[in-house]
Amino acid sequence: MAVIYNRVALIGLGLIAGSMAHAMRAAGLAGEIVGYARSAETRAIARDLFCDRVTETAAEAVVGADLVVLAVPVGVMGEIAAEIAPHLAPGATVTDVGSVKGAVVEAVGPHLPAGVHFIPGHPMAGTEYSGPRSGFATLFQNRWWLLTPPEDTDPAALARLRELVESLGARVDTMDVAHHDLVVAVVSHVPHAIAYTMVGVADHMRRVSQSEIIKYSAAGFRDFTRIAASDPVMWRDVFLSNREAVLDILGRFAEELFVLQRAIRMGDGEHLHAYFSRTRAIRRGIIEAGQDTSAPDFGRSVDQAAGASGNVR
Ligand code: NAP
């Protein structure tokens, strides 16, 4: 494949940036990959594993870059944008990979100078691992990458970013920011909240010993623990910055839970059977859409062989 951007600056060098860099290198999509992260240790690992060059500051990293990718926790994007803004090359594209879009657009947008294209994005792929060693080239294969371009986005800049993302193996959809935040609240953020809560419940259950929880965890709990092992900083920021949509969906969840609770209390087997049949059909739809494997055990053995869980985040 041909080079799409001559110089890509990755700000933040964890799972997502590392995976992008591995995939860009594998396919020869970037002339040079320059990286910056907060700690010297992360920068050193990234230089060894996937960056051509790392810099001591974010501002230095973006100099001369035609693509800048903000791949730090959502709560940090604004301050990074303020720092890099005066150093961005005219005509450069700035994108981000944050799991929330409204808060990022609000925090980043006002800092960016005219003549720089800001096209927010969100790769819906991830694992429960983080840090510069956790990335791998196939993370985005067949996963959705949502872009939320403002209405006046330059079509050529958008087409170029789309080409890069598709060359990383992802499928692109565009949507507006508010819709994005609602969709991810349903498919990702609230499921994470539920997993965190369920693991918390087990933690508080003194009648069930710690060793029993671990021993019998394959009964369903194990999959919650995997999700609940996700990075605490990232998820703190996700919930703080997508508060409205998350609270909306959590409210609906609580209502459904009450209905389910009542059906169980009343011994309403018909209701439970009909409800579980509908949810099973949704699972089938996900498999048919190629977003998970039909292998038993939630595809864990398959995913482990591939080195990734391919979670949607
Ligand atoms: P990660 O593996 O934890 O990496 C985060 C990177 O950001 C690290 O290199 C870290 O540097 C750097 N960083 C943190 N605070 C910083 C600061 N104040 N200044 C400069 N650098 C800083 O995170 P990730 O999973 O790649 O997530 C990055 C972004 O992608 C987040 O916005 C997240 O919402 C989004 N996202 C994540 C997933 C997922 O499943 N993980 C999926 C889709 C989107 P140090 O190592 O030096 O601390």
Quick: pLDDT tens for 170-217: 999 999 999 999 999 999 999 999 999 999 888 888 777 878 888 888
pLDDT of residue 310: 44
- Which residues of the chain carry a pLDDT beneath 70? 296-313
Which residues are CB-contacts of 287 (< 8 A; sequence separation ≥ 6)? 293, 294
Distance 270 CA to ligand 1 centre (A): 46
Q: Are 250 and 190 in contact (CB under 8 A)?
A: yes
Which pLDDT does position 313 carry in this prediction? 57
Q: Considering only CA atoms, which residue is closest to atom 40 of ligand 1?
A: 126
Q: Which residues line ligand 1 (CB under 6 A)?
A: 12-17, 37-39, 42, 71-74, 76, 97-99, 122-123, 126, 130-131, 134, 231, 234, 238, 313
Q: Are 114 and 88 in contact (CB under 8 A)?
A: no
Give me the pLDDT at residue 302, please.
42
Q: Which of 312, 309, 287 is nearest to 143 (CA)?
A: 312
Q: Is the pTM of this model over 0.85?
A: yes
Domains located in the chain, CATH noted: 5-175 (3.40.50.720), 179-309 (1.10.3660.10)
Q: Which two tokens stand for residue 40?
A: 């010297």
Q: Whose CA is nearest to atom 46 of ligand 1?
A: 42
